[in-house]
Amino acid sequence: MHAEDTGRGGSAGGSTLLSGARDADRGRPYAEGDPILEVRGLVKHFPLTRGILFQKQIGAVKAVDGVDFDLAAGETLGIVGESGCGKSTVAKMLVHLEPPTGGVIRYKGDDVTKLSGRALKAVRRNIQMVFQDPYTSLNPRMTVGDIIGEPYEIHPEVAPKGSRRQKVQDLLDVVGLNPEYINRYPHQFSGGQRQRIGIARGLALNPEIIVADEPVSALDVSVQAQVVNLLDRLQAEFSLSFIFIAHDLSIVRHISDRVGVMYLGRIVEVGTDSEIYDHPTHPYTQALLSAVPVPDPTARAHRERIILHGDVPSPANIPSGCRFRTRCWKAQERCELEVPLLAVPAVFRDTETPARHDSACHFAEEKQVVPTEGLLETPEPADAPPSLHKGDLGDAGTAASAAPQEPGESGRPAESAEPGEPRASGEAGETGEPGSRDDRER
């Protein structure tokens, strides 16, 4: 039977142990706000070849074609965009799972793209990744203890053999799982719990940067809230820097300090969450925001829906000039001839408005796609459940109760047990777990 997902808060003791080990292993700590990661002109082209015995390159798929951004210590940078725009390829290059075709990735001033051997191994320890699919990213033949402890085999200096089991149990407690689950296998966990195991594996080496590649896209809404709250808490406890990649714009806004919008291999607009969501200036960002479902009928009636015509161009045949011009309603001759730079548009350079942020558009213009909540406030019924706003997802239990409960993964309600299998004492649904800390204390 699957262990149910849980919102356990984690152990303060385990948190202190891990943060203490991290402080001991680090050199000069970067102050919050200092750039810890700098990406300049990042390029990844996959060659297109013809022939079998004698292959000849006839083109290239330009998956990433000149990406620039900075990540400050303690900051969360969200990256959003359509499928196929290059978000995951950027994530893989940051942890050197894909070698870049060109560009520079500087971690604390060192160009990671030029490192190899022990130097690259040391950098990889500090930049870890949480993968998108919690089902295929865990080896089904390994126990949870082996999965989380595997990084210690590669970096034995982090944890001597005698202390590894205790460290793994501390990590399980930190991410809200029962340390007694150390000998279980991935198939015995729900999707949310598997993603927590992936997060624990990412934390094992005490990294400074975690690249989260759509970590909640395969989870139910209630479990998404739990995982996002967990990442928020871990960032505060361990002073982590996050690169958070997702399709869900509301989740990106909740967790991110800054947001970058990608289109066809490039970032077309970047700014703080309020600048991007409330004051977008790039036409693609405006169209993206207008496509977000709005549950409030009043807001839905006041928003302007922007419909883009045509398909996304092939990354193997990118249009000249502005790559969004083939679908843009503002396109003019200049858009075909000149590539727009990612910078503050000239029309906003002398202003102090929130629209003064980087946008790669020749004709950037501020447009409020969805009316702000202040213009649409209506009294809620006395018996209405509290709505979730940015920074107000609450704890995991509250977030789980805000969404309807889904049936268990086996197709039956979560509270039903397998035939002939006794129900564990204290076993609960999404907001509890068998053998939780509260049950053990009783």
Handedness of CA 365, 370, 371, 372 (dihedral sign): negative
pLDDT at 10: 52
The model's pTM: 0.76
Alpha-carbon distance of 65 to 264, in angstroms, equals 8
For 349-382, b/e burial (b = at least 16 CB within 10 A) is: eeeeebbbbbbbbbbbbbbbbbbeeeebeeeeee
- Residue 334: C-alpha distances to residues 65, 165, 321 (Å): 21, 62, 8
Q: In angstroms, what is the C-alpha Rg of the chain?
A: 23
pLDDT averaged over 10-residue windows placed end to end, the chain, 442 residues: 49 49 49 83 94 88 95 95 92 94 94 91 93 91 94 89 90 93 94 93 94 89 88 91 91 93 96 93 93 80 83 92 94 94 92 92 88 49 44 42 41 40 39 42 43
pLDDT at 339: 94
Alpha-carbon distance of 284 to 306, in angstroms, equals 10
pLDDT at 250: 85
